[in-house]
Structure 1
Amino acid sequence: MGSSSSSSPFSLLLVFLACFAIIGSSSDHTNLVYKGCADQKFQDPTGVYTQNLKTLFDTLVSQSSTNKFYKTTVGDGQSAILGIFQCRGDLSNADCSNCVSKATDRSRKLCGETIAARIQLSGCYIRYEVSGFKQASGTELLYKVCGSTQASGTGFTERLDSALGEIVKGLQSGNGFYTGGYESVYVLGQCEGDLGSGDCVDCVKTATERDKSECGSSISGQIYLQQCYISYSYYPNGVPSDSQSSSSSSGTGQRNTQKTVAIVLGGVVGLGLGVAFLLVLKSVFKKRHHYGNYWG
């Protein structure tokens, strides 16, 4: 078969459609970020654990239509199961409910009947554990995503430090959720719903320090600790206004980077669009890492 030095309109169309598919899917709050499943499964000859887990999931989904955070225990004694869900602070009730429902479905499919599990989606997470299960420290690193593209030029480190500091300042008010832009850096931070203001700030400070050591000069990053998480995305041409004003565009560094690609698309015409597209898409690919045997 021969090769051609020029691309056909059809092949270019396939490239464009593939890129749009990536952007479209990334705006969904139910995208899987990571899963953590305990190695051990229930020893459940009577079926009590299975029933308690089903009841727990049903309760979490029911509560998610009116709450952004909920914590409960189902069952008694050794068969009791503690469960939690939390949605991102800027999600609507409908989006929160949909996210939690998808998270419980993912847990059933990905973890089955393990004695503990955590499912992190882009807009929410659920976790549960049986009575007596050893919990991770609130500031233990569970998962990270660092953008593969490194910032060029001077001043980025100082700018990022200041932007991450804005998360800490924003969370000192005690509402447990903050999102905003600072000098071309879009940031987001959230603490687990029942974490006190002081503990929340301490957790986020730990997350920002881990980000500096883990992600360095990456233009985007996400750090997930047991009881809080942060994310950031750097936009050389300034943070898009919809990133700060629309709940549908707030979120992970990966999604915001992809939204920048969509914005670039709107202003470029012709064959050059395909070239620019492929160059920008390089920044979307991430380095992902799990930590610990339990959440691996």
Structure 2
Amino acid sequence: MSSSTFVFLFLLSFLTSFRACAQNPTYVYRICPNTTTFSRNSTYLANLRTLLSSLSSPNASYATGFQNATVGQPPDRVTGLYLCRGDVTPEVCRRCVAFAVNETFTQCPNAREVTLYYEECMLRYSNGNILSTLNANGEFSMENTQSITSNLVRFTELVLSTMNQAATVASNSSRKFDTVNAFTDFQTLHGLVQCTPDLTNQDCLDCLSRIINQLPTDRIGGRVMVPSCFSRFELYLFYNEAAADRTPQPQLNSAPPPPPPISIPSPRPGESGNSTVIVIAVVVPTTVIFLLLVAVLIFRAKRKTTAYETEPLADGDDIATAGSLQFDFKAIEAATDKFSQENKLGQGGFGQVYKVLINPLLTYFSIYINMLRLCIKTIK
């Protein structure tokens, strides 16, 4: 054999093996009590082979992800089922079940009662009646290695409430399956719960409630599995979200809704020709204006007595007359309809708030601007 042919055959064998390995389901756990066993030439073994062949046949119900069967008569009767995770495709389900069937006699060679867990499916059989019967024994749990370092109580409450919400939805559905999302601290909590569909709604809810309380909520992820149901949560998306027929869940810990927009009222009847707006019409007491003017004059007087003043104020920046800062009370009274209660909007930090016409509003704003301008120039 030439070297090139050898290399080609080696690569072909390697790629074929790699592809087959990549398609293998991920093994998780097994339950093989070995309390009762069977011999290699027993009737039970023959019935078991028939059962496993039926469950892994091309005509099995991979689209529904669940099937059960019973073969033989007591004491050699065997009952079995498979359950594929609710978010996997029928083809992934078929491959997982076929792989589990082939692994049965390797994982649990002589046991009459076996449960094999894979990421994508579960295979179970027994010499007892396991159909439509709640079994929460043989609990198996796994947890993420990373612990919750802050807000443990809050995180625990979120996990339990979210997973119990999913359990309620799953128990009332025909598939006995649900996934759920919740949002916390800029991260998304992903959860998945599932029961075998042969359980009643109440049995499914009881099973899920029991194992949800056993979840390792002090970690950022974990799962608990029993023969009749399982649950899992993570801070990353571990299931096929597109394939899971998930009911949208309300967002938790979301920001509060924005405040409603402020509406602008229409003019009152008879106020044609002038638009009205909502403004803060501040009726400033005469005392405040007087104190402000006194403070400005005192400050200017002190500056003139020091040697640091280098130039006089420019023309027009000084206070020309006292009348330039006086308010026309009659104009304010007319603009607010004599301070009527209909025009009153509320109470502000400087007095009562009224709705006024646009022209008086501009007048008052110009007064405030002039006052501010004079104070700035004076300080400079």
Deviations 1:81-121 (A, max 9, x none): 11111111122111111111111112121111311111011
Q: Partner of 2:241 in structure 1? A: 245
How many angstroms apart in 1 are the aligned matches of 2:208 and 2:62? 27
Distance 1:217 1:190 in 2: 22
Q: Please say if residues 163 and 180 of structure 2, whose CA atoms lie closer than 8 Å, have aligned partners that are also in contact.
A: no
Deviations 1:234-284 (A, max 9, x none): 25xxxx5x9563349x9xxxxxxxxxxxxxxxxxxxxxxxxxxxxxxxxxx
2:28 is matched with 33
Partner residue of 1:111 out of 95, 108, 111: 108
CA distance in 1, matches of 2:95, 2:205: 29
Q: Corresponding residue for 1:54?
A: 49
Report the Cα distance in structure 2 between the residues aligned to 1:90 and 1:216, rounded to whole angstroms. 24
Cα 1:92–1:112 shift into 2, 3 Å? same
Aligned equivalents of 1:178 and 1:79: distance in 2? 36
Closer, same or farther: CA 27–164 of 1 in aligned 2, 3 Å: farther
Q: Distance in 1 between matches of 2:20 and 2:159?
A: 28
CA 1:202–1:53: 2 relative to 1, 3 Å: same
| Number of the residue aligned with 1:146 | 143
Which residues in structure 2 correspond to 1:208-223 (within 5 Å)?
A: 208-211=212-215, 215-223=216-224
Distance 2:128 2:208 in 1: 28
SS of match in other structure, 2:135: coil
Once the two structures are superposed, residues 65-93 of structure 1 have per-residue CA deviations (whole angstroms, 9 ceiling, x without a partner) of 44411111111121111111111112211
Larger helix percent? 1
Q: Which has the higher contact order (CA 8 A, sep 6+)?
A: 1
Distance 2:98 2:146 in 1: 34
Q: Which protein has the bigger strand share?
A: 1
CA distance in 2, matches of 1:197, 1:25: 39
Distance 1:159 1:59, change over 3 A: same
**Is the aligned partner of 1:75 residue 2:72?**
yes
Letter paired with 1:230: S
Look up the SS of the partner of 2:139 in the other structure. Answer: strand
SS of residue paired to 1:144: strand
Is residue 159 of structure 1 aligned with residue 158 of structure 2?
A: yes
Which has the greater radius of gyration?
A: 2
Indicate if the aligned counterparts of 2:170 and 2:178 stay in contact, CA closer than 8 A.
yes
TM-score by structure 2 length?
0.52
Equivalent residue number for residue 235 of structure 2: 234
1:286 is matched with which residue? none
- Classify the secondary structure of the residue corresponding to 1:210: coil
Which residues of structure 1 form unaligned runs of 5+?
A: 1-23, 251-296
| Match in the other structure for 2:177 | 177
Give, as a single letter, the amino acid of the residue that structure 2 aligns with 1:204. L
* Aligned twin of 1:10: none
| AA aligned opposite 2:169 | G
> Secondary structure at 1:148's aligned position in 2?
coil
Out of 197, 200, 205, the position equivalent to 2:204 is: 200
What is the Cα deviation at residue 156 of structure 1?
1.6
How far has the Cα of 1:231 moved from its partner? 0.2
CA distance in 2, matches of 1:181, 1:130: 39
Q: Displacement, 1:180?
A: 2.4
Structure 1 55/25 Cα, relative in aligned 2: closer, same or farther at 3 Å?
closer
Separation in 2, partners of 1:244, 1:132: 33
Aligned length: 217
Residues 65, 96 of structure 1: 8 Å contact kept: yes
- Contact preservation (8 Å) 1:222, 1:230: yes
Structure 1 Cα separation of the partners of residues 40 and 226 of structure 2 = 35
Map of 1:100-139 to 2, 5 A cutoff?
A: 100-131=97-128, 138-139=135-136
Q: Secondary structure at the match of 1:140?
A: coil
1:67 and 1:58, CA in 2 relative to 1: closer, same or farther beyond 3 A?
A: farther
Q: Distance in 2 between matches of 1:26 and 1:181?
A: 32
Instruction: Please give the alpha-carbon distance, in whole angstroms, between the structure 1 residues aligned to 2:192 and 2:40.
Output: 45
> Do 1:222 and 1:229's aligned partners in 2 also have CA atoms closer than 8 Å?
yes
Residue in 1 aligned with 2:167? 168
- Distance in 1 between the 2:179 and 2:20 partners? 22
Q: In the TM superposition, what is the alpha-carbon distance from 1:38 to its structure 2 partner? A: 2.7
Q: Where do 5+ consecutive residues of structure 2 fail to align?
A: 1-18, 247-380
Go from structure 1 to structure 2 and tell me whether the alpha carbon gap of 1:78 and 1:185 turns closer, same or farther (over 3 Å shift): same
- Structure 1 residues 25 and 199 mapped into 2: Cα distance closer, same or farther (>3 Å)? farther
Q: 1:173 to 1:227 in 2, by over 3 A?
A: same
Root-mean-square deviation (Å)? 3.1
Flag the 1:234–1:75 CA change in 2: closer, same or farther, 3 A.
same
- 3-state DSSP class of the match of 1:71? strand
